[in-house]
Amino acid sequence: YKTPVGTVYEDNIDLLISEQRDLLRDLRSIPKNAALRRVNEIVKRARQARVHAHIIGHLRSELPSMFGKNKKAKAMLDDLPAEFRKIQVKYNLPPGDFPNPEAFKKDLEAFKIADFNKFSQRLIANADEALASDFPRLMQKFPTSNNQAGNFGFPDSGSSSQDETTPSARFSEKQRTPAPGVHVPYPPPYSAMAASTSTSRNPFGEDTDGNPGILRFRTLFDGNCDPKSKVVSADSARNVLSQSGLPTELLREVWTIADWDSRGELDQVQFEVAMRICERLKAHEPLDASKASVFAELGLLNRFHG
């Protein structure tokens, strides 16, 4: 026989009531969250489709007009990561939207690149318009407060002026819903939904905590990269990374991780990876954990794990 803790310790009654309200709030949010997940999935597919179109269009445009098409196609597929970098830089596309190069290569080998349709800028413009305007407008139609969905006769736990001192507030401060009347809009789905070239509306810059995929070391990269090739040489990278104060043996491993294609130079994303790993290592985080966290933040896991 089990006795509920609330019947033994009356001091926990506030916690139980608050937990009850939190549970009801979570139940009310289920339909809304399910719809949000669907929108996020559509946005994810739209972004990936846009990248796939750029990849196919780029590969097709690189083929010779007369002879040697198969030879050129094979050469590009054998060095697909390099082609991905060209496309990423040329069209300013997020690296996390690109497919795994090995898996994509296997799929492309079943087709003739020359047989694909020509690149349509009109269709890409429509996709960009949907990602930049249509989907954000759709997201604005979702309620920003659970109070709009009804409260089943219970007051919302955020409505009490004593909530900040209740046990529930102490145990789950970060998970609570804002008080009624406080407008907290939902973040854009799938990281940054607008075009990556858009500027921040906040005069104090982007919220990098809310969107970990934002390149935080872009200014440092611009100050050390070659203005034409847009890459940081090994010597320049050594000077920058050495300023972290980390041991040379550890920096050597960081370089191996960031220079995953063994080019001896770092593009903007690879430079970001190196700087973020150094940042975590200085906070005494293990190297493997730092690598996994940084790759997850930048959406790079699918590039190496399918």
CB-count exposure of residue 152 (10 Å: 0-12, 13-18, 19+): exposed
CB-count exposure of residue 278 (10 Å: 0-12, 13-18, 19+): buried
- Which among 284, 303, 300 has a CA at the least distance from the CA of 292? 300
Instruction: Indicate the residue type of 267.
Output: D
CA distances from 14 to 26, 49, 165 (A): 18, 50, 10
Beta-carbon count within 10 A of 275 CB: 22
Domain 218-305, classified CATH 1.10.1220, yes or no: no
Say if pTM beats, i.e. exceeds, 0.95. no
Is the model more confident about 36 or about 249? 249
Kindly report which listed range (23-32, 173-182, 211-220) carries the lowest average pLDDT score.
173-182
Q: Is the distance from CB of 146 to CB of 21 less than 8 angstroms?
A: no
CB-count exposure of residue 297 (10 Å: 0-12, 13-18, 19+): buried
Instruction: Indicate the residue type of 154.
Output: F
pLDDT at 43: 85
Confidence of residue 16 (pLDDT cuts 50, 70, 90): confident
The mean pLDDT of the chain is 74
User: ∠ CA 59-63-67 to the nearest 5 degrees?
Assistant: 155
Percent of the chain past pLDDT 90, that is, above it, reads 19
Tens of pLDDT, residues 218-233: 889 988 988 887 889 9
Q: Is the distance from CB of 221 to CB of 174 less than 8 angstroms?
A: no
- What is Dmax (Cα atoms) for the chain? 86
pLDDT at 20: 80
Phi, psi of 153 (to 5 degrees): 85, 0
CB-count exposure of residue 5 (10 Å: 0-12, 13-18, 19+): exposed
Which residue ranges make up each domain of the chain?
A: 10-174, 218-305
Domain 10-174, classified CATH 3.40.50.300, yes or no: no
pLDDT at 304: 55
Paired tokens of 274: 């190196």
pLDDT at 191: 37
Confidence of residue 300 (pLDDT cuts 50, 70, 90): confident
Q: Is the distance from CB of 157 to CB of 22 less than 8 angstroms?
A: yes
SS3 letters across the chain: CCCCHHHCCHHHHHHHHHHHHHHHHHHHHHHHHHHHHHHHHHHHHHHHHHHHHHHHHHHHHCCCCCCCHHHHHHHHHHCHHHHHHHHHHHHCCCHHHCCCHHHHHHHHCCCCHHHCCCCCHHHHHHHHHHHHHHHHHHHCCCCCCHHHHCCCCCCCHHHCCCHHHCHHHHHCHHHCCCCCCCCCCCCCCCCCCCCCCCCCCCCCCCCCCCCCCCCCCHHHHHHHCCCCCCCEEHHHHHHHHHCCCCCHHHHHHHHHHHCCCCCCEECHHHHHHHHHHHHHHHCCCCHHHHHHHHHHHCCCHHHHHC
